[in-house]
Amino acid sequence: MTEPTVAQKAPFAVETEAGKSYFWCSCGESAKQPFCDGSHKGSSFAPTKFTAEKAGKVFFCGCKMSSRGHLCDGTHKNL
């Protein structure tokens, strides 16, 4: 796998907890989207760690093409 798989053409809205770390799936193969389940093993992909500074909703990228890494930037609208 050299390109990520589009998990969905929309962001994943997730309520996060302050101080908690989340590991965003960058390959698109995880069954636990938007988070990593280890499906990337053996590829060049690795999860991205995100630690929430405060509680609230975060829009994690679902298309895996965002220029902002784990955060949605609307790129999915052009796919």
3-state DSSP call for residue 77? helix
10-residue mean pLDDT profile of the chain (79 residues): values are: 94 98 98 98 96 98 97 97
Q: Report yes or no: 39 and 30 within 8 Å, Cβ to Cβ.
A: yes
pLDDT of residue 1: 76
In angstroms, the CA 12 to CA 9 distance is 10
Predicted structure pTM score:
0.93
- Write the Ramachandran bin of 38: left for phi over 0, alpha for psi from -120 to 50, otherwise beta: left
Enumerate long-range contacts of 34-41, CB under 8 Å, 24 or more apart: 34/7, 34/60, 34/61, 34/62, 34/70
Domain ranges of the chain: 1-79
